[in-house]
């Protein structure tokens, strides 16, 4: 399965590939530079398909990861438990709801494009999803990085969604943070662990 924003990119690349094949078949010489160009365009199509892949997932128990990647931080203050996941360019880039939720509002904040693995990147351009859940207020944040600068939303305020459903994606990596009520959730992952969106439990509800 391919993620929603992939259409125009893959379509353009496939059209270019088809035009090159047609030109080669009709008029152009079949020499190595042209064959190399065909190989480059073919590799580009394969890379785009891999980047925009969106595999089906079996929803895991408890509160699940919103993104594929590696846990880069698990910390808390008096009110919030924060679990931060860093996505690299080879990870699936589609993001999923960590638990059943209604989207209250979505807002964009921040400035700059610092490397997403640095703590200061929490001030980057980012998109906040404010959710109402059985735990109370939960926030999921898509963050840009030094290369990843495109945040895509699939959902709108007022919509209700099930755990594991897709809510958006980030182009070329970066990170996703989940902010949970500290008195209602406890982490079940540690820094450095790899997680899969919609499948891997990252926290459990406290009684």
Q: 39-46: list long-range contacts, CB under 8 Å, 24+ apart.
A: 41/13, 41/16, 41/17, 42/17, 44/13, 45/10, 45/13, 45/14, 45/17
Q: Which residues does residue 178 pair with via DSSP β-bridges, in sequence order?
A: 83, 140
The catalytic residue positions are 174
Listed in order, strand segments (DSSP E) in 32-115 are 63-64, 69-76, 80-87, 94-96, 101-109
Contact 145, 173 (CB under 8 A): yes
Backbone angle region of 40, left / alpha / beta, with phi > 0 → left and psi within -120 to 50 → alpha: alpha
């Amino acid at each position: 399965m391919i993620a929603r924003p992939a259409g125009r990119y893959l379509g353009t690349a496939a059209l270019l590939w088809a035009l090159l094949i047609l030109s080669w078949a009709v008029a152009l010489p079949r020499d190595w530079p042209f064959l190399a160009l065909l190989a480059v365009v073919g590799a580009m199509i394969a890379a785009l398909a891999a980047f925009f892949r969106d595999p089906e997932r079996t929803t895991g128990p408890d509160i699940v990861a919103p993104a594929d990647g590696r846990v880069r931080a698990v910390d808390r203050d008096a009110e919030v438990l924060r679990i931060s996941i860093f996505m690299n360019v080879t990870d699936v880039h589609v993001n999923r709801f960590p638990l059943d939720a209604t989207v209250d509002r979505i807002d964009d904040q921040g400035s700059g494009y610092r490397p997403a693995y640095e703590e200061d990147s929490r001030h980057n351009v980012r998109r906040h999803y404010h959710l109402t859940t059985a735990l109370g207020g939960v926030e999921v944040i898509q963050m840009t990085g030094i290369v990843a600068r495109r945040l895509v939303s699939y959902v709108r305020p007022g919509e209700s969604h099930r755990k594991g459903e897709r809510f958006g994606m980030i182009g070329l990596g970066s990170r996703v943070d989940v902010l949970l009520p500290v008195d209602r959730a406890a982490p079940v992952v540690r820094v450095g662990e790899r997680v899969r969106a919609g499948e891997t439990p990252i926290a459990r509800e406290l009684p």
